[in-house]
Amino acid sequence: MAHQKLDISVHREANETIVVLTGEIDLHTAPRLTVAVDEALAADPVRVVLDMSGVTFCDSRGLGTLVILARAAARSRAVLVLANLGDFLKRLLAVSGIGEHFVIREPAPDPEDDAALGLSDVEEYGVDSTEAIGSERSGTEGPDQERPR
């Protein structure tokens, strides 16, 4: 059986490091992901964001690796954020029961979609626009808050 690959690209933005993943997270590729996140954590970011939009497969080893990486980030006083999860990853996290243990960043809604639905003003529907701006959820830190050093 041919080994599938995982392409990893890393770039920094403001207070976070973005790790873009394309391919499969499994027994063969999880060690490369671990190295990439460990290197990102060495730069002492507030957040390490795993952009999962290109992930096509994740097995139990991949899930375990995500848990280990979240713990490593916490030990480094950073937050591991899973971003742009596809439907299969959302289901996998829900079925496995570990989804609630991650910070998940949903993509921002497309304003053109809102306009097509007649939702041009968020406040009109009783939602404070400051609450609607960030879609990242976490326990204590907001998306742009610094952590104490």
The pLDDT tens digits for 16-31 are 999 999 999 999 999 9
Q: How far apart are CA 32 and CA 110, in angstroms?
A: 33
Measured CA angle at 88 (ends 71, 40), to 5 deg: 35
Residue 23: count of CB within 10 angstroms of its CB: 16
pLDDT class of 125 with cuts at 50, 70, 90:
very low
Tens of pLDDT, residue by residue over 66-110, are: 999 999 999 999 999 999 999 999 999 999 999 999 999 987 776
Among 3-7, 62-66, 110-114, 128-132, top mean pLDDT goes to 62-66
What are the domain boundaries of the chain?
Answer: 6-133
For domain 6-133, the CATH architecture is 2-Layer Sandwich (3.30)
CA atoms lying within 13 Å on the CB side of residue 138: 22
In 3D, which of 1, 68, 53 has the Cα closest to residue 28? 1
Point out which residues pair with 51 in neighbouring strands. 20, 83
Q: What is the pTM of this model?
A: 0.72
What pLDDT is stored for residue 107 in this prediction? 79
Q: How far apart are the C-alpha atoms of 85 and 117, rounded to whole Å?
A: 24
What is the pLDDT confidence band of residue 53, given thresholds at 50, 70 and 90?
Answer: very high
